[in-house]
Each structure stands twice: as structure tokens, then as C-alpha cells.
Amino acid sequence: MISYIYFIIFLLLSVLSMFTGVTFFMQNFSIIIEYSFMNVNSLSLVYIILLDHISLMFLSLVFMISSSVILYSKEYMMGDYNFNRFILLVVMFVFSMMLVIVSPNLMSIILGWDGLGLVSYCLVIYYQNEKSFNSGMLTILSNRLGDVAILMSIVWMMNYGSWNFLYYLSFIKFDYEMMIISVLVIIASFTKSAQIPFSSWLPAAMAAPTPVSSLVHSSTLVTAGVYLLMRFCGGFNYNFLMFILYISVMTMFMAGLGANFEFDLKKIIALSTLSQLGLMISILFLGDFNLAFLHLMTHALFKASLFMCAGYVIHVYGGCQDIRFMGGMINKLPMISTYMNLCSFSLCGFPFFSGFYSKDLIIEMLFYNNMNFYIFIVYMISVGLTMSYTIRLMNYMMGDGTSYFSLNSFSESFSLMLTGISILIFFVITSGSMLMWLFMNPYYLCLSFFMKIFTLMMIILGFSLGNFMFSIKYYFSSLSLNNYMMTSFVGMMWNLPFLSTLGVVNYPLKLIKISNNSFDQGWFEYYGSTGGFKLMKFMNGFIQGFSSNHLKVYIMLMMIWFLIMFLVI
């Protein structure tokens, strides 16, 4: 019953936030609310809420996806004895995300920012097995690096007398202190958005239940970093921070390349999310805030739907996530197959789907800017790789029907899982055009015919590459050592999981163990509490021995005295 209550509440909040955001945009109106908790001498504790069309539309998106995920989880998590705990964790996560969205104050942002990391850790380790624990440890330690960066920026903003960063964004271009704060915020956002070198935790976090992946690791947690960068982007010095563009483009390329050699269904979609995050941050640092926000909104919708479709498929296949064991799904699961194809078309930027309106403009804006040849080529290759791994995944799942599982006993019914997905599918198709017509100013981009046709050429090449990767699946699936080494290297995200595990988990824990043995339980114990206790015990025993045998001590001292006098005389 609790899931239906939260489903209705979040759906109503989504509709209310959407209409309020559209009204605020039409009226060019925003509200800042300051609530004072207490005043102690000169210290004032104030919580600030910023309500404008950006925060309200993003809140509407989060509430809509959350309501669909809660309804979807009612059937997906059926039989789980801790289902109420799962729903409460999801609600806590949405509340933390809400704090991040409506806060223009770093002190209040850290509440939601830290809450996102903690609740996501609890959700990743929900199944409580060794894989979940390892993934959760990598997730929370990677996110803690970003929390430390936010705390350092909070301390640094003490120089300004306020933590309302919106008042000081115009100082970034010529004030080195505000520039340092912006760099710290970029580092924090990169840990949440899993950019290089913090990319390894996002595929590892797929150990969580699929509804968690749909909500947390596709549309809310990972986009919190992009959203914070959007709030700070008003004063970024793009000439100084242009190297961020290189990192985001390389993240796109690395994730797209890894997805073409991955066989885990959820990890392919997770790497797709990583690629799209690099796309958002790249266009953000090219200077177009509105276009990055448009792609963030549309991507959250079709990626959440794609994860939910993947969860339905995993549910049908008895928990199997290996796409090599799937096939022929179009015949037995027509509705889910249709939904997956719609989301995949939107991901690839198929004309007049939601992803088309943002991705096409992003690529044209890249052409319009004065970029070097390296950025241009890697960007376009990444776009082609997006088409490649999408076509490869669709061929594996909808292909020749050589499935190792029998779907004859399964009949697709309009259940709660399908209802939850169906709520989002309408917006997957129409959200791009609606948001484009409502919030975006007209673009005038004068490009040559070659630049206009080059994107189409890369998409055709990606389509061909995806079909080729599927046609040689038996070659890559063989047990040859050379094939295994090649596919594992290319699909291992350039060894970032090993480096992150060694750098974030393994070596720090070893240093903590050495410190514990050498200092906490070593020298500090010897010269600290244990050594002090032993010294006091010895002194007390010595003094107590004097007090208990004072007559013997007196006689012994008298004998020593007489002996000394005798020797002297």
C-alpha cells in the first residue's frame, strides 16, 4: 500500500512542478525563499530555496521518474521481505535530490549531495552479496572524493561572508579565489558524473536492483553533477577550463568503445549513460547552458525507460543479464521490444524523437565553434559508436531467435511493470519537441553541406559497424586467449576499474591498516593509554607497598643508616 501512496504523491508533485515551471518561464519569474532557523549572536542559520523554471522542470522530471519506478518496483521486487525499506530508501534519495536541485547555497547543497552518496550506497548493497559490497565500496569512496571537494569549497567561501554562490559567479573570471572554488566544484561534479578518472564506479553500481539503476544511475544521481555545473556555468572562464572539454570527449569515446565489447545488458546501458554524460558536459563547456539542460531532460526520460525495459527482460529471463543468451524477443515480447526500440531510436537521435532535438543541435554547435581537428574527429567517432552499440544490442535481443531460454511459457500481460514504463514512453517520444518549443530560443546555424551531411555519414558508419559486430559475435565469444585479451582490454574502460580499485579502495585501506597497527595499536598504545595505565599501576603498587610495610621499611632504613655511620667512623 505504501508504494501506491508514494506513487500518487510523486505524480501529483510532478504535474504541479511542471505547470509551475512553465508559468514561471512564461512570466520570466523566479522566487528565492530564505528561512531562518536560528540567530546566535552574529551567526545566522538560514536555509535558502531557489524556485525558477530550471529547478521546477528538473523537479518535475525527478518526481515523474520516481513515481514510475515505485510503481514498477511493486511487481519487480515482489516477494522481497524488505520492500518497505526499499521504498523508503528511494524516497530518501528523491528528498536528497530535491535538496540539491532547489538550493543555491553550498551549505545546504552538501546536505543533499552527501545524502545522495549515502543512500546510493545503501541501494547498491541492497542484495548484500560480495559483488554488491565491492561495488558499493567503490561507489561511496569515489563519491566521497567529491564530498571533500564540496567541503573545501564551503570553507573557501568563508572569505566572501556567504555561501550563496549565485551572488559571486561574476567574480570567477577575474578573482582567483572564486576560480579555485569553481575548480573544486568541477572536481565534485566529475565524481558524481563519473567522468575520467572517476568513471569506474558507474558500471560497478549496476549491482543494485534494476529499479535503482533506472532512477539513481541514469537520471538523478549522475546528473546531479551536471546540474551543479549548470548552476555554476554563468561565470566559467572557458579559455582557462577548455581542457575539461578534452576529458569529457575522451569519456564519450571510452564509454562508447567499451559498450561495443560488453555482454552484460545493464552495463551496456550504464556505459551508454556515461557516454551521454560526457556529451552533456562537453556542450556545457562549449558555452551552451540551455542545450545541455535540454539534453539532460530528454536523456533522463529515455534512459530511465531503457533501464526499466532491461529490468523487464532480466525478470523474464530468470535473472540472466548476458545478451549472448537472448534472442527472438520481438516474437514473444512485442510491447517491451517496441518500447526498447523507441528508447534506442531516441538515444541514437532518430529524427523527431526526443533525443534528436538535443543531439542534432549539440553536434551542429560543435561544428559552429572553432574546434581543433582532434576534438572534431573523436566527437564524431563517439557519435558513430553510440549508433554501433545500440544496433549491436538490438540485434542480439531481437535477432535470429537463437535464445538459450524458452519464452513459450511466458505471455506478456499489461502488468504494473509495463504500466510504469508506459507512463514514460509518451514523454520519450514527445518531450524533445515540447521542451524545444517551450524553452529554447531559435538557433541560426549556417553550416556547409559537408558539415550537414557528415553527421548522417557517421551514423550510417555506426549502423554498419553495429551489424558487423553482431555478425562476428561467435568470433569474439570463442575461448581463444587472443580474442579474450583483446575484448577485455578494449571493453575494460582502459583499465580504469583496476586503477580505481587500487587507488581508491585497495591502497588506502592498506595504509589505514598500517597506520592502525603502527600508531593506533602501536606507539600510541605504548606511550598512550596502555602505557600510562601500566605506569600508574606500577607506581600505585610501589606506593602501596611502602604504606603496607612501613615498619619493615623503617627498620631497614635504620639498619642502612647505622651501617653507613659505622663505615664512615
Q: Tell me the per-residue pLDDT of 422-449, one tens digit each, with 9 for 90 and over.
A: 888 888 888 888 888 887 777 777 878 8
263 pLDDT above the threshold of 70: yes
Any idea where the domains of the chain sit in the sequence? 285-484, 538-569
> Which one, of 34, 186, 193, lies nearest residue 102 by Cα?
34
| 8 Å CB contact between 399 and 471 | no
Q: Which of 419, 265, 404, 408 is nearest to 332 (CA)?
A: 408
pLDDT for the residue 499: 75
DSSP annotation of 38: E
pLDDT tens per residue, range 367-425? 887 778 888 888 888 888 888 889 888 888 887 655 555 555 555 666 788 888 888 88
Q: Is residue 325 predicted with pLDDT exceeding 70?
A: yes
pLDDT band at 551 (very low <50, low <70, confident <90, very high): confident
Q: What percent of the chain has pLDDT over 90?
A: 0
Q: Which of 381, 267, 367 is nearest to 323 (CA)?
A: 267
First to last CA, the chain: 104
Measured between alpha carbons, how far is 541 from 67 in angstroms, rounded to an integer?
70
Q: Which of these ranges, 84-93, 265-274, 516-525, has the smallest mean pLDDT?
A: 516-525
Judge whether residue 478 has pLDDT over 60. Answer: no
The CA distance from 103 to 221, in Å, is: 16
pLDDT averaged over every residue in the chain = 81
**CA 388 and chain centroid, separation:** 24
DSSP letter (8 states) at residue 164: B
Q: Which residues pair with 105 in a beta bridge?
A: 164
Q: Quick: pLDDT tens for 25-51.
A: 888 888 888 887 777 776 677 788 888
Cα–Cα dist 333/414, whole Å: 11
Whether 103 and 49 have beta carbons less than 8 Å apart is answered as yes
Contacts 24+ apart (CB under 8 A), 401-405: 401/327, 401/328, 401/331, 402/327, 402/328, 403/325, 403/326, 403/327, 403/328, 403/329, 404/325, 405/317, 405/318, 405/320, 405/325, 405/326
**pLDDT tens digit sequence for 326-367:** 877 887 788 888 888 888 888 888 888 888 888 888 888 888
Q: Which long-range contacts (CB under 8 A, 24 or more apart) does 74-77 make?
A: 74/3, 74/4, 74/416, 75/415, 75/416, 75/417, 76/209, 76/210, 76/211, 76/311, 76/315, 76/417, 77/209, 77/211
Band the pLDDT of 315: cuts 50, 70, 90.
confident
What burial class does residue 432 get, using C-beta atoms within 10 Å of its C-beta: 0-12 exposed, 13-18 middle, 19+ buried? buried
Alpha helices in 77-205 (DSSP H): 83-102, 106-124, 130-156, 176-192, 201-204
pTM of the model: 0.84
Residue listed under C-alpha cell 508504494: 3
Cα(77)–Cα(66) distance, integer angstroms: 15
